[in-house]
Amino acid sequence: VLDRLVGYNLSPILWSKVKNGLSAGRVQSVALRLICEREKEVEDFLPEEYWSLDADFQKGKSVFQAQLVKYNGETPDLKNEEFVNQIIEKIKNSPCTVSAIKKTEKIVRPKPPFTTSKLQQAAANRLSFTSRKTMQIAQQLYEGINIGSSRVGLITYMRTDSVRISETALTEVRDWISKQFPDDLPEEAIHYSVGKSAQDAHECIRPTYIQYTPESVKEYLSHDQFKLYSIIWERFVSSQMRNAKTMNTSIDIATENAIFRTSASKVSEKGFYNVIKLLSSKEDKSTSLPSVKEGEVLQVLNFHPEQHFSQGPARYTDASIVRMLEEKGIGRPSTYAPIISVLLDRYYVVRSNKQLVPTQLGRMISKILVESFPDVINEHFTAEVENKLDSVEKNELVWNTMMSDFYFKFKKRVDEVMETQESIKGFLDEKTDKVCDLCGKPMVKKLGRFGFFLACSGFPECHNTKSIPLAKCPCKDCGGDIVARKTKGRGKEFYGCTNYPKCNFISHFKPIDQYCPECGWFLVEKYDKKNGSYKSCINPDCHYLHSNDGTEEIKEDES
């Protein structure tokens, strides 16, 4: 009811002053504010230059690399190349000795089973799923999958803020572990504490039947269902296993006024890692260290100075905005995915390489709401409302009292804003050099539900609209433009030719306003973990791949 009161009163302000079809809400608008404020931090950030210095050391036939960690007894502040070169000149001919070898054992504890927010974060980070996709697939696993001749619900209810495990489930999982990994079964079941703000209406997200391992039901699941079920099953089983242990080793190499350090970590006891698929990748990344003793003399071979620039704050992703909302006590497990979906659907936010970037419309909406309702569109108010709702549920606070205290002040402010806020309808409209092919009047770039489009300035007499051309179609003798389109049903965006159905050219990557210097086809922006964002030619017979500034040729990550 409270959310409806806020949304039903704020949204008409946007319809009247900005554009029809917009919306605002108690939680949604705070999430938008967080995203817009982070974008401002990204824009204001000024990168600073700094350097690192590595060196190659040799012991017999073994060569390894270490990094400078101390200079003149302090952590070095390597701000420029000149200073780094001065250090190299001073130490390049100095004797090098192993000054310290340190070994420490680290205990790695298993994580609790999933809550809704933690599942969304893990699926985003490990599987690249959006919050909406995660909840859709979780719903399918909860409602049931046809396994053989019967339909089986594979997981418990997926909207929960609790890590509580039922006694029956604890007995079943401990029985399974005792048979499969008897050495990794703790003497007693592990009970995880439930947060003070948790409603605890449902237990954790877990497999309903532990004997249905991911591999045993793989043939009955889609690819994405299998991946999500796997991390749910792994997380639950591992939560009831013994700790893992790693042995961390560091070697310090001392030369004149400088200390270089190399380190490595190796899993010494697998414990719960036995059921976590990520273990193999962790082990692959561990580096082997040379067999050396303290006081041993080494030979320095080469120095590797490297320039860096400080990184600004990262834009929010699905995972990080959900984590932030959860940490600040904003929203409920059932609202996290819908919040992100609404921001995207309203075109307040767009996804760019998995990051959530506010549009000009989103930033304007947030500015209006924050300036007009600073006491409502802020994280502290929203979190306090969540606490008061919990108090109402526990009969510690009277619902009517809470509502009346809020509503009359809020409604008075809504009326004031409706009367004083200037209309900014059409503030995003842009004139273009395009001419309407129906009436001859200029076309205007306007913002619609699915982004920008071209509309005749003669509206309402002329209703002509067109998609905005992004590139010329590369097909021979076509002459059409490439525009954004959406599939029927799911509404997934792709890029096709305006001459369809005569031309069937499509691309799943968005064209950028550049053309390939080698073949003339348009370029698209791609992204992978190895290279980050880069541009690539859409021509399947052309292998042009370059960094975004065009200065560096790269190789596509095929992993």
Q: Which residues are catalytic?
A: 157
Quote the CA–CA distance of 538 and 139 in Å, as a whole number. 37
DSSP state of 243: P
CA distances from 140 to 158, 212, 224, 228 (A): 10, 16, 11, 11
Of 559, 558, 510, the closest CA to residue 535 belongs to 510
Residues 6+ positions from 51 with CB-CB distance below 8 Å: 78, 79, 80, 81, 83, 84, 305, 306, 307, 308
Our measurement of the distance from residue 230's CA atom to the centroid of its chain's CA atoms, rounded to an integer in Å, reads 20
260, 57 contact by CB (below 8 A):
yes
CA 116 to CA 228: how far, in whole Å? Answer: 13
The per-residue b/e assignment along 164-191, b for 16 or more CB within 10 angstroms, e otherwise, is bbeeebeebbbebbeeebeebbeeeeee
- ∠ CA 271-276-278, nearest 5°, is 115
State both tokens at 471. 């590139």
Collapsing DSSP to helix, strand or coil, 321 comes out as: helix
